Homo-oligomer: A and B are copies of this chain.
């Protein structure tokens, strides 16, 4: 029987999702409307994501900084597209130190303006470039409907903001960071993502273009997993960020930004978890192995401790649950919390010379000799779980990937089972908007260089220019 605190995934996916968030103590609603409390289990996943990505960023020469939380209205107003994009969803500080402010301050929804304002005074020559800065911080967007991790007014993220002396270098950076995210999702989160370019309608306000990683959730709904923007010289012109190039001419810098957020904790849940609670890929799991001793004989204790020490020695994060709860309760708790591997060491099993090892992903129980080389066994099992989880997610994604040649095809698919829909597009916004009328289906990304699957636009029948993936989004 599945966890009785969790609605079945197939009965009500939305309810199932929030049930898992609560049952695994990842986050809770707060008394602050639209904002969540990230609880220890959820924050530990974020810490792990941070440490992996931060290392990757640094390997590529990026350094961390911290810009202010607040942006004066006058500074924000310098770049019109960004203002128009974010104005409806910012929070304004109008009173500070008991006084009404002359220039009100918005809480950063993103920090392009602040980075530009800093860069303009810190770059003069091509020798000062590139600047490869990143920051880990909180941002705020006044969302109307919120869901834990997926959409909340405040969220945590990293935002990279780089400036370069040439268009080519900045475009390479934009591409490189999309690849970093892709690899992170693939290798650590066990989430297959699709790389592509956003349409003009869906790109980031102010960007020349936006590259994206799009992932598909278990229920066939799409999640924008991380984006990387190329700004060209747009912001540089608005904020006057100039440098002297090698030919001794003044030129505006070329700029990028890229970000990944706590939303991916939601993505992890919606790709991998089940009716028993959280399922985590071993490489992102803050705790990888739980040992449950059953009974309190010396042999049980000694073996539990020995296994724990051996595993910790090899950096496999292991703990013993020796609380006074029943074994059944401990098993269910380890399951709901998504501990990838559970080792049950019981007196009766030991008498037969065995222990039991349970996989969280498949819930399979395996009887193993108590003399097993535990480090090798568990290492291999963790690798297998990681690999299997990726393959299962990929299989599910592929099963929910369709092809449409007419609007009717699209309607039928979206009414039966949403997923990723491949279809050709002429490039007109009107067609994009018409398609959106079908259950809010949006272009997820343009697959650049992908083979054509039709000559005609799926919507208007005119000449097709782009191979696009469409879907319903979170």
Interface residue ranges, A against B (CB under 8 Å): 28, 30-32, 35-40, 43-44, 46-47, 63-72, 75, 87-98, 104-105, 107, 114, 117-118, 121-122, 133, 137-138, 140, 142, 144, 153-154, 156
Nearest-CB distance from A148 to chain B (Å)? 12
Q: Is the CB of B144 within 8 A of A97?
A: yes
Q: In the docked arrangement, what's the CA distance between A249 and B380, Å?
A: 50
Q: Is the CB of A37 within 8 A of B118?
A: yes
Q: Is the CB of B64 within 8 A of A40?
A: yes
Q: Is the CB of A32 within 8 A of B71?
A: yes
Q: In the docked arrangement, what's the CA distance between A286 and B253, Å?
A: 29
Looking at A35, A46, A91, A137, the one whose CB has the most chain B CB atoms below 10 A away is: A91
Nearest-CB distance from A110 to chain B (Å)? 15
Q: In the docked arrangement, what's the CA distance between A295 and B375, Å?
A: 51
Q: Given contacts A37-B67, A92-B95, A94-B95, could you give 13 more A-B pairs where the C-beta distance is less than 8 Å? A: A30-B114, A31-B117, A32-B70, A32-B71, A37-B114, A43-B64, A43-B66, A70-B140, A88-B98, A90-B97, A92-B93, A97-B144, A138-B138
20 A–B pairs (Cβ distance < 8 Å), ordered by A: A31-B75, A32-B68, A32-B70, A32-B71, A32-B72, A35-B70, A38-B65, A39-B65, A43-B65, A68-B154, A69-B140, A87-B98, A88-B98, A90-B97, A91-B93, A91-B95, A91-B105, A92-B95, A92-B96, A93-B94
Q: Is the CB of B142 within 8 A of A96?
A: yes
Q: In the docked arrangement, what's the CA distance between A69 and B156, Å?
A: 11
Chain B residues closer than 8 Å to A43, beta-carbon distance:
63-66
Q: Is the CB of B93 within 8 A of A64?
A: no
Nearest-CB distance from A474 to chain B (Å)? 20
Given A30-B117, A107-B69, A154-B70, is A64 in contact with B92 using a C-beta cutoff of 8 Å? Answer: no
Given A66-B38, A67-B30, A69-B107, is A97 in contact with B88 using a C-beta cutoff of 8 Å? Answer: yes
Chain B residues closer than 8 Å to A94, beta-carbon distance:
92-95
Given A64-B43, A154-B70, is A142 in contact with B30 using a C-beta cutoff of 8 Å? Answer: no
Q: In the docked arrangement, what's the CA distance between A69 and B96, Å?
A: 16
Chain B residues closer than 8 Å to A144, beta-carbon distance:
97
Output the nearest chain B residue to A135 by Cβ-Cβ distance. Answer: B43
Chain B residues closer than 8 Å to A32, beta-carbon distance:
68, 70-72, 75, 105, 114
Q: In the docked arrangement, what's the CA distance between A126 and B104, Å?
A: 46
Q: In the docked arrangement, what's the CA distance between A471 and B66, Å?
A: 32
Nearest-CB distance from A160 to chain B (Å)? 13
Q: Is the CB of A40 within 8 A of B63?
A: yes
Q: In the docked arrangement, what's the CA distance between A70 and B35, Å?
A: 9
Q: Is the CB of A97 within 8 A of B142?
A: yes
Chain B residues closer than 8 Å to A97, beta-carbon distance:
88-91, 142, 144
Nearest-CB distance from A40 to chain B (Å)? 4
Chain B residues closer than 8 Å to A89, beta-carbon distance:
97
Q: Is the CB of B67 within 8 A of A44?
A: no
Output the nearest chain B residue to A98 by Cβ-Cβ distance. Answer: B88
Q: Is the CB of A72 within 8 A of B31?
A: yes
Output the nearest chain B residue to A70 by Cβ-Cβ distance. Answer: B32
Q: Is the CB of A96 within 8 A of B91?
A: yes
Given A32-B105, A69-B138, A140-B69, is A40 in contact with B91 using a C-beta cutoff of 8 Å? Answer: no
Q: In the docked arrangement, what's the CA distance between A39 and B63, Å?
A: 9
Looking at A72, A88, A95, A133, the one whose CB has the most chain B CB atoms below 10 A away is: A95
